[in-house]
Every structure is written in structure tokens, then in C-alpha cells.
């Protein structure tokens, strides 16, 4: 989810980073140098203790990895305000050099290609506290109504290395999942990703809560949630559903989640395929911040309201019939958590497709007309002031338009294809083809080109790499009219549908003027279907 704010009220409520001077810190965080590409992470075993009173964490993370190229040095990441106590390999303490948040670990001898190695990083510190999570990364410290500690963390974009040592790049997920063990003061519970393996009472008035993820997982998705939680269990067609909510909210949570979760799962599985993390189960965890797509432990903080904190982001009323955070953040299980972008510059692959899942849910539950009303209502939140795709290799996203403009691009493609049976088949095949894979924009474009048999590249290019949307220009020519596209892409071609005297007509428009075959007496006879194509008309 990161960075979803009430655009209608305060615009994009986070600092938008556009093309600008890059620093060594930027390239260390976002780049792919040999010290990162020479090894492939197989698993993380995180074992920490959280001290709510001092806001400190301490513990270790075991990083198991396969050596891809012979090397004697690797890069891991941990924010420079966090202290490393030691890094151990085969009982030996390793030397390392820190540069900003990057940690270059030196081995006493070359690690051979193909071998499996592991290091254990012992560390401690006070992780950055978020000022306004999830729009800025960090820990969130709050209290429930009984003054019990209530703690969460959200780090998308900022980096998982904010709170644990990790290979902090979306290009590498642990192939064999992760173990997350978190010790908290007695009386509190920790909820993390995957399956609960049990708790263990420790000697220092702490209890350790043990969780395991069997699937690959984005590093920013690994999470902890600490509070006085109660557990609600359910099952839907064989999929375990688990809700962890504050004790005071148990009754309202039972009713609220029943309304949306099962219809949503039925809809999404019919359109995008089986829930991708079946082995780890599906969870919603109540958090002291709005929400985040933490894999198999989706963060929920919408306060059991319909809409987005009680508002409709589309301004149409359609969005008040479901809980926005439940639907959007769960949509990420398919798009973002299962299908992941290699670089956050390509985050539209997460956010554009996931925002579109909202419209898909509306269509499943309210019908096509309501879905078109909803998605076009969201268009008012698009700024068209910066390209959607950001800068690669420096940990920078593009425009926040990746959400709604990305979704409207997909709606446009649906109507370009003009065959709903084919459209849904393509979307399902896309989800299944790249399930649990890490991809980029050229991969997405190549897939849609192949499946449609069309050259959609100029369309993707215009919407993703330029700030302006296509403008359809129409001018009179006696009793007929002429039309063309005005775009940044010089070879733009996209069909568009219009209505003339109640009859749908398809115009195969390009950047060159074309004469229409239909006769009109005035432009009042002509209506461009802008609810199906996200364009401007002149």
C-alpha cells in the first residue's frame, strides 16, 4: 500500500521524489553492484526482542544464501543508526565496513560458486520511529484503550534495513521463506507473517512468539505486530482465515470482516487465480496505522469503517459499500507480494494492478456499471504532473499517479481489447504466469503484446513514461469529421470508441489525421466513451 492518502483532500501526502541529483547513499541502497548480485538469499531466520518502554530491539538475523559467483565480500544492509555487535560465519567473527546503511562483509577466504553459506548478524538499537506511517517508514508506538502497548512497523520504500539486517533489494526474496521470532513482555502477543508455530515463556518476563513463512517474501513485507490481541479463526473453502484484533474490538471485527473477506476472496480467486500463499494462510492484523500489504499478515487500520477512513476515494458513493483497506491491501497479495517489481521505480506493477483490483471487486459485487462509475470517479485523484515510472537504481519511486492512473491504464487496455472474455483470461494468465516472480515493465508489456496480438508498447509508454495522457483531437470536415491522437509518443496508435446517433463506432486513431466515414450534422451527434478510455478530448 505505501503512500495512499486522501488525495481528494490533501493531495499526495508524501514527499514525491522525481529526477534529481543522486548521492552515494542512494546508489548503495538502490543499486545492484557485484557485492549484491554475487549471492542469492535462501532464507532469513530473525530472532529479536522488543522493549516497548525504551523502544529498543536487540537480537540477530541469520541469513542463509547461495553463492552465485565466487566472492570474498558481500553487501547486506542495516540503517546506520542501528548497532552491529558482531557478524558470525562458521563460528568465526567476520570483519566488515559500514558505508551509510550498507554493510560490506569480508570473508577470510573466497566463497565458492554454488555453495550454501550462512552468516548471523547480532545487532541492537532504536529503529527510526515513523512520524506518519505508512507514508513514512518506521516503527509505530501506540497504546490501546487500556494503555497497553500497541506496536507496528511499516517500511515499504524506506527499506526493511530500517529495523533488521537484510539484503535490502526487491530483486532478491528468500527462496525458502523466513522464520520470525519476536519476544515481547508477558501479557502481549506478537503476530508476524505465515503460520504460528507456538510461544515460549522466557526467564525475563518475556514471551517469544514464533512464526514461519514457507513462501518467498518481499523484505519490506516481513513484519511484527505487538499488542493485546485476540485471535479469531475461520476457514473459507479450505483456506485458513485468521484475524488478530485488539481485545476491545473483537465483537465488531467478527461482523465487519465477514462482510467483505469471503466475497473478496471469491472474486479475486476467480479473476486472478488461487490465493498465492495458501501454505501460509490469510491474516488480517489490526494495526495502529492505516494499512500495509504485509504478506499473509495484512496490516489493517481502517477502524472497521466502510470506504477509506469513512470517505469514498471515488466520490461516487460506490466506494462506501466496502472496506477500502481490506480490499486494496489484500489485492496486493496477488500484485506486489506474489508478482513483485525488481526496482521500486517500477512500483506501478504493484500499485496500478492492485488499485484495479478494487474496481474488479466492485464489478464482482455491484456490476459493470458501478465498476465504471467507481474507476472514473477515481480519475479526479490523478495529477498527470510526473511520469509514473521513477528513477532506477537509486531507490526512488515515480509519481503517485501509479495508483489511479495505473488502474485507469488497465481499464483502457480492457476496452482496447474490446472482448471481456479475452481480457479476464489475459489477466488470469498474467497473474498465474508470473506468480511468485520478480519482474519489470518490459516483461509486463511483452506479455500483454503477446497475449493480445497487438503492439501495445506505445500505449504503455505514453501512460507510464510521460505525464500527459493521450488527447483525441476532432475537427469538422463538411458533414464528416477528422480525428487524430496528440501524444508525446511519436508512433502512438490506439482505437477508441465513440457513439454516433446511439450507435457505437470504433475509430482506429493514430497521430495522423484520418477522415471518419460517418456523417454528422454537429458535434452534438458525437460522444467519446471517456468512461472506457482514460483520455482527453479536444
Question: Is the peptide bond between 134 and the residue preceding it cis, with omega within 30 degrees of 0?
Answer: yes
Last residue of a domain, one of 307, 328, 349: 328
Give the CATH number for residue 413: 1.10.390.10
Helices and strands, counts by H and E, the chain: 11, 29
The CA distances from residue 452 to 194, 409, 422, 462, 510, in Å, are 37, 15, 8, 18, 19
Asked whether residue 2 is domain-assigned, the answer is no
Alpha carbon separation from 320 to 90, 264, 308, 310, 324 (Å, rounded): 56, 15, 8, 8, 8
The predicted structure's pLDDT at residue 520? 78
Mark whether 228 and 283 lie in a shared domain. yes
Q: Are residues 525 and 426 in the same domain?
A: no
Same domain for 498 and 437: no
Residue 364, SS3?
helix
What element of type H or E holds 472? strand 471-477
pLDDT per residue as tens digits for the range 130-181: 999 999 999 999 999 999 999 999 999 999 999 999 999 999 999 999 999 9
Q: Are 408 and 392 in contact (CB under 8 A)?
A: no
Region at 427 (left for phi over 0; alpha for psi -120 to 50; beta for the rest)? alpha
67, 131 in Cβ contact below 8 A? no
Residues 144-180: b if buried by 16+ CB within 10 A, e if exposed: beeebbbbbbbbbbbbbbbbbbbbbbbebbbeebbbb
Rounded Cα distance, 47 and 58, in Å:
9
356 in the same domain as 289: no
Asked whether residue 395 is domain-assigned, the answer is yes
Residue 31 within a domain: yes
Evaluate whether residue 419 is within a structural domain.
Answer: yes
Q: Are residues 403 and 312 in the same domain?
A: no
Separation of alpha carbons 119 and 68, rounded Å: 16
| Residue where a domain stops, chosen among 441, 465, 489 | 465
**Final residue in a domain of this structure, among 328, 348, 383:** 328
Check residue 16 and give its pLDDT: 35
3-class SS string, 394-448: CCCCCCHHHCHHHHHHHHHHHHHHCCHHHHHHHHHHHHHHCCCEEECHHHHHHHH
Residues 391 and 460 occupy one common structural domain: yes
Judge whether 12 lies within some domain: no
Q: Per the domain annotation, does 15 fall within a domain?
A: no
Q: Which of 283, 404, 392, 350 is nearest to 5 (CA)?
A: 404
Assess whether 280 and 296 both reside in one domain.
yes
Of residues 538, 530, 524, the one with CA closest to residue 487: 538
With a cut of 50, list the residues of the chain below it in pLDDT.
1-19
- Whether 257 and 319 map to the same domain: the answer is yes
Q: Is 323 found in the same domain as 348?
A: no
Determine the structural domain holding residue 496 and report its residue range: 471-537
Is the domain of 314 the same as that of 388?
Answer: no
CA distance 507 to 493: 10
- Number of structural domains found in the chain: 3
- The β-bridge relationship of strands 493-500 and 526-528 is antiparallel
User: What DSSP character marks residue 249?
Assistant: G
Q: Is residue 9 part of a domain?
A: no
- pLDDT on residue 430: 98
302 Cβ partners below 8 Å, 6+ apart? Answer: 290, 291, 308, 309, 323, 324, 325, 326
Tell me the Ramachandran region of residue 347: left when phi exceeds 0, alpha when psi lies from -120 to 50, beta otherwise. alpha
Cα dihedral 344→349→353→354 (10° resolution): -30
Alpha-carbon 153 to chain mean position: 15
Q: Assess if residue 4 is contained within a domain.
A: no
| pLDDT value, residue 20 | 65
CA–CA gap between residue 259 and residue 250 (Å, rounded)? 15
Please indicate, yes or no, whether residues 283 and 346 belong to a single structural domain of this protein.
Answer: no
Closest CA to 135 of 29, 16, 9, 294: 16
The DSSP secondary structure of 301-362, one letter per residue, reads -STT-SBBTTB-TTSSSGGGGSBHHHHHHHHTTTBTTTEEESSGGGTHHHHHHHHHHHHHHH
Query: Dihedral of the CA atoms 406, 408, 413, 419 (nearest 10)?
Result: 140
**DSSP assignments along 31-77, one per residue:** ---HHHHTEEEEEEEEEEEEETTTTEEEEEEEEEEEESS-EEEEEEE
Q: Let me know whether 271 and 353 are in one domain.
A: no
Burial class (CB in 10 A: 0-12, 13-18, 19+), 256: buried
Name the phi and psi angles at 427, rounded to 5: -65, -40
Burial 44-60 (b: 16+ CB within 10 A, else e): bbbbbbbebeeeebebb
Residues 6+ apart with CB under 8 A from 312: 318, 319, 320, 377
b/e code 210-222 from CB counts within 10 Å (16+ = b): bbbbebbbbbbbb
Give the pLDDT confidence score for residue 9 in this predicted structure: 30
What confidence score (pLDDT) does residue 8 get? 33
CATH number at residue 279: 2.60.40.1730
How far apart, in whole angstroms, are the C-alpha atoms of residue 430 and residue 370? 25
Report pLDDT for 4. Answer: 39
Amino acid at each position: 500500500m505505501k503512500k495512499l492518502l486522501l488525495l481528494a483532500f490533501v493531495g499526495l501526502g508524501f514527499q514525491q521524489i522525481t529526477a534529481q541529483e543522486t548521492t552515494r547513499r542512494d546508489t548503495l541502497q538502490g543499486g545492484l553492484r557485484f557485492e549484491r548480485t554475487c549471492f542469492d538469499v535462501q532464507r532469513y531466520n530473525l530472532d529479536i526482542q522488543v522493549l516497548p518502554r525504551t523502544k529498543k530491539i536487540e537480537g540477530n538475523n541469520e541469513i542463509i544464501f547461495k553463492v552465485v559467483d565466487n566472492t570474498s565480500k558481500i553487501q547486506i544492509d542495516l540503517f546506520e543508526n542501528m548497532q552491529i555487535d558482531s557478524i558470525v560465519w562458521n563460528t568465526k567473527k567476520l570483519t566488515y565496513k559500514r558505508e551509510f546503511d550498507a554493510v560490506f562483509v569480508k570473508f577470510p577466504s573466497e566463497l565458492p560458486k554454488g555453495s550454501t553459506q550462512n552468516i548471523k548478524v547480532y545487532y541492537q538499537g532504536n529503529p527510526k520511529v515513523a512520524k506518519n506511517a505508512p507514508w513514512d517508514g518506521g516503527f509505530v508506538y501506540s497504546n490501546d484503550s487500556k494503555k497497553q502497548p500497541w506496536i507496528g512497523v511499516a517500511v515499504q520504500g524506506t527499506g526493511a534495513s530500517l529495523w533488521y539486517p537484510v539484503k535490502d533489494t526487491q530483486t532478491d526474496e528468500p527462496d525458502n521463506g523466513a522464520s520470525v521470532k519476536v519476544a515481547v513482555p508477558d501479557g502481549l502477543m506478537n503476530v508476524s507473517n505465515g503460520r504460528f508455530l507456538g510461544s515460549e515463556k522466557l526467564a525475563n518476563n518475556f514471551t517469544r512468539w514464533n512464526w514461519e513463512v514457507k513462501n518467498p517474501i518481499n523484505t519490506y513485507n516481513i513484519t511484527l505486530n505487538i499488542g493485546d490481541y485476540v485471535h479469531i479463526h475461520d476457514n473459507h473453502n479450505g483456506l485458513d482465515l485468521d484475524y488478530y484484533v485488539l481485545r476491545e474490538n473483537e465483537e465488531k471485527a467478527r461482523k465487519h470482516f465477514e462482510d467483505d473477506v469471503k466475497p473478496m476472496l471469491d472474486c479475486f480467486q476467480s479473476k486472478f487465480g488461487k490465493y498465492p500463499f495458501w501454505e501460509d494462510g490469510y491474516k488480517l492484523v489490526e494495526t495502529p496505522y492505516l494499512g500495509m500489504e504485509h504478506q499473509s499478515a495484512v496490516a489493517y487500520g481502517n477502524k472497521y469503517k466502510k470506504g477509506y477512513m469513512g470517505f469514498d476515494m471515488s466520490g461516487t458513493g460506490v466506494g462506501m459499500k466496502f472496506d477500502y483497506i481490506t480490499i486494496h491491501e489484500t489485492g496486493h497479495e496477488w500484485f506486489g507480494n506474489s508478482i513483485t517489481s525488481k526496482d521500486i521505480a517500477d512500483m506501478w506493477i504493484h500499485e496500478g494492478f492492485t488499485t484495479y483490483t478494487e474496481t474488479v471487486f466492485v464489478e464482482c459485487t455491484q456490476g459493470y456499471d458501478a465498476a465504471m462509475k467507481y474507476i472514473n470517479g477515481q480519475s479526479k485523484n490523478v495529477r498527470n504532473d510526473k511520469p509514473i515510472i521513477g528513477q532506477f537504481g537509486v531507490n526512488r519511486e515515480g509519481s503517485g499517479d501509479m495508483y489511479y492512473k495505473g488502474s485507469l491504464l488497465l481499464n483502457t487496455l480492457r476496452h482496447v481489447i474490446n472482448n471481456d472474455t479475452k481480457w479476464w483470461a489475459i489477466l488470469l494468465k498474467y497473474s498465474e504466469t508470473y506468480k511468485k516472480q520478480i519482474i519489470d515493465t518490459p516483461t509486463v508489456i511483452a506479455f500483454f503484446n503477446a497475449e493480445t496480438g497487438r503492439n501495445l508498447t506505445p500505449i504503455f509508454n505514453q501512460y507510464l513514461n510521460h505525464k500527459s495522457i493521450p488527447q483525441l483531437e476532432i475537427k469538422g470536415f463538411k458533414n464528416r469529421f477528422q480525428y487524430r491522437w496528440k501524444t508525446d509518443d511519436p508512433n502512438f496508435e490506439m482505437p477508441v470508441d465513440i457513439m454516433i446517433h446511439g450507435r457505437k463506432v470504433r475509430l482506429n486513431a493514430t497521430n495522423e489525421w484520418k477522415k471518419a466515414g460517418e456523417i454528422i450534422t454537429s458535434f452534438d451527434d458525437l460522444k467519446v466513451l471517456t468512461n472506457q478510455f482514460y483520455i482527453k478530448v479536444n
